[in-house]
Each structure stands twice: as C-alpha cells, then as structure tokens.
Amino acid sequence: MAITREKKQEILKELIDKFSKSKSVIFSEYKGLNVSGISELRKRLRKQGAECKISKKTLIRLAAKKTNFGDLGDDMMTGPVAVTFCYEDELAGLQILFKFSKENENLKLLGGIIDGKILGTEEVLKLAKLPGRNELLAKLLGSMNAPISGFVGILGNLLGGFVRVLNAYKDKLPPDAPQS
C-alpha cells in the first residue's frame, strides 16, 4: 500500500520528534512476529517509559540524519525494522527487548543509539545483559548498609556476651547471697 507524500512528511516529523526526545533508540528486526506478540512487546515497553514504532527504513534513516545521528549502517536496517524509543531510562527498553527476544526468536536486536553513539549488535547485547537501574541501586544501598548492620551486630553480640557472663556469675552465687 503506497503512502502519500503528505503522510510520509507527517511520519518523518513524528520520527524526528521521537529521536530528539529519547535518551536511547534501539533497532530490532521483527520478521515473523505476529500482531499479538508485537502488542505484548509494546505493552511491556510502555510500562518502562519506552515506545516501539514501526516505519519505513528510509524514513527512519532520514529522521536519524536530521537529528544529527548520522547515517545508520546497513546492518541495523535489515528486514522489517522496529524502532524502540526509550524516554526515561536508557537501558530499560533495551533490556525488555532482550528478554522478549529470548522468549521469542522472531525478534532480533540489530543495534542502537545510546548517549549519541551508534552501537552495533554486539555492543547493544553487552549493554542489555547489564543489571537494571533499580537492581544497581538496591546493590548500592545494600553495600552502604552492610557496615552499619555489621556494627550493630557486633554491638549486639558484645552486650549479649556481657549479659550472659553476668547471668552465669549469678548462677554461681550461693543461694543465700543477696541478689539485686
């Protein structure tokens, strides 16, 4: 189905807007993925502040050029391409795509743009395997909390030991000794 020139201009303007607003952009091939699969993927992405858009590759390339990302390589534009725009967390959308590609072999990560740099498939896969932001924050808080909880444990053991020594001494006293 042919798209009119005006419709292409609208789509291009929308893509340029999305490229400029997003913190990262991920490209994936969705060949063989059915409508329910794409809908499920879009629902997961929306929960994390990301959006999946399917468009013509020429319009995607034009939008990337107009937002100063340069020319996207041919390896990122093979087969039918879906573009995921991540608006909140740079890696959240990438991690969702990676998990979804593990569940569904019809989705393949092709590359992306993160921090203004164009990354290939290998680099994107390495980033996708990193723990998420919330998990990293939890680990940081845990490591910050560990010395304090260790100190509390040591103090508790010292006081508990002192109480046990006093209790043992009390048990050794003769029954007629005054207890206070």
The full 3-state SS of 3-51, as one line of letters, equals CCHHHHHHHHHHHHHHHHHCCEEEEEECCCCCHHHHHHHHHHHHHCCEE
pLDDT at 24 over 70: yes
Domain's final residue, options 114, 130, 146: 130
pLDDT at 180 over 70: no
Q: Are residues 11 and 84 in the same domain?
A: yes
Q: Are residues 50 and 12 in the same domain?
A: yes
The residue range of the domain holding 149 is: 133-180
Q: Are residues 111 and 75 in the same domain?
A: yes
Give the pLDDT confidence score for residue 153 in this predicted structure: 84
Q: Are residues 72 and 116 in the same domain?
A: yes
Q: How many domains does the chain have?
A: 2
Q: What is the CATH number of the domain that holds 108?
A: 3.30.70.1730
Q: Are residues 140 and 101 in the same domain?
A: no
pLDDT in tens, 105-136: 888 888 888 888 888 888 888 888 877 777 77
Task: Determine the Cα–Cα distance for residues 60 and 28; give it in Å rounded to an integer.
Answer: 12
What's the mean pLDDT in 18-46?
Answer: 88
Q: Are residues 100 and 154 in the same domain?
A: no
Q: Are residues 32 and 96 in the same domain?
A: yes
Q: Are residues 21 and 88 in the same domain?
A: yes
Q: Are residues 112 and 164 in the same domain?
A: no
Find which of 2-6, 38-42, 76-80 is predicted with most confidence, using mean pLDDT. Answer: 38-42
Q: Are residues 141 and 120 in the same domain?
A: no
Q: Are residues 113 and 151 in the same domain?
A: no
Q: Are residues 91 and 118 in the same domain?
A: yes
What's the mean pLDDT in 89-99?
Answer: 87
Measuring CA to CA, which residue among 126, 108, 52, 40 is closest to residue 85? 52
